């Protein structure tokens, strides 16, 4: 379980998050959605302790993240962020093996079991064929799959993903989020811009706007035109397709939409 209670954060004098609260129940996939600049990625950084909140408490399984150090945090929490360097002089396998570092002994280092775990993680994200490639030579989509494999190799039971579908084609977007959704015993918080992907693969959603939670709940509760239109500034229509809500977006009336003349 991940608990965020009344969290605030400011860069200098600019408030980025103000009184944000959410709960990711054990085994759930919670999507963070909202316009650019709403505080989604900042909240993720606060959860994995890259930043410190100016107010509030963040806990993993009732233990404050400030009390978790080094291996204790890595054993509980795996992260796929947007800031991973692309010029690292490693092969794909070596990069994924970094996810095994919390479990490697100080003396024996990386074991055969660690290598088997890394290979299995690459297989799960469809990247086993990249194992010996230099990480720096991968495309954006290939790199993203490898970074997720690294997180899977870590075998933590809490997973944070910051826009993991960036650079992936539509097939891999669905494949990847389907995989994340079915990870056994894993509590996941994922930042997504695509609301239709959020609708299909998240159990619950938190909609952030101007640093506050504007709506939180199930997909059906959050993804409504009444909630989304004032936040995104577009017209929203909702239908059901392939067993999940499907959203259509268009300009609001009176916003300068051009009409075709025949």
Q: What domains can be seen in the chain, in order of their start residue?
A: 2-250 (3.40.50.300)
- Give the per-residue pLDDT at 255: 61
- Token pair of 240 as six digits: 């059901």
Is the pTM higher than 0.85? The answer reads yes
How much is the pLDDT for 259? 42
Q: Which residue has the tokens 């097939």?
A: 171
pLDDT for the residue numbered 262? 40
What sign does the CA torsion over 98, 74, 124, 110 have? positive
Locus of tokens 């400011």: 10
pLDDT at 118: 93
Q: What is the pLDDT of residue 242?
A: 87
Averaged pLDDT in 10-residue chunks for the chain of 262 residues: 96 92 95 95 94 94 88 88 72 92 69 91 90 90 86 91 87 87 89 95 96 96 96 93 90 60 40
Residue bearing tokens 């299995």 = 120
pLDDT at residue number 7: 97
Give Cβ neighbours of residue 137 (< 8 Å, ≥ 6 apart): none
């Amino acid at each position: 379980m991940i608990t965020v209670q009344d969290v605030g954060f400011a860069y200098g004098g600019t408030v980025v998050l103000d009184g944000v609260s959410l709960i990711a129940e054990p085994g759930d996939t919670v999507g963070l959605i909202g316009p650019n600049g709403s505080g989604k990625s900042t909240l993720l950084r606060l959860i994995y302790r890259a930043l410190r909140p100016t107010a509030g408490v963040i806990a993993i399984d009732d233990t404050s993240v400030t009390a978790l150090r080094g291996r204790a945090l890595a054993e509980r929490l795996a992260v796929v962020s947007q800031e991973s360097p692309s010029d690292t002089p490693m092969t794909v396998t070596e990069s994924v093996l970094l996810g095994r570092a919390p479990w490697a002994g100080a003396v024996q280092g990386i074991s055969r079991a660690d290598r088997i775990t890394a290979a299995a993680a690459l297989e799960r994200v469809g990247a086993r064929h990249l194992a010996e490639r230099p990480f720096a030579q991968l495309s954006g989509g290939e790199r993203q799959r490898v970074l997720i494999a690294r997180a899977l190799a870590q075998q933590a039971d809490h997973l944070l993903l910051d826009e993991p579908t960036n650079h992936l084609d539509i097939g891999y977007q669905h494949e990847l989020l389907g995989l994340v959704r079915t990870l056994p015993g894993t509590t996941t918080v994922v930042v997504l811009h695509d609301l239709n992907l959020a609708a299909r693969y998240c159990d619950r959603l938190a909609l952030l706007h101007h640093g506050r939670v504007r709506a939180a709940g199930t997909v059906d509760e959050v993804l409504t035109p009444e909630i989304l239109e004032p936040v995104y500034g577009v017209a929203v229509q909702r239908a059901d397709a392939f067993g999940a809500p499907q959203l259509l977006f268009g300009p609001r009336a009176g916003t300068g939409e051009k009409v075709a003349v025949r």
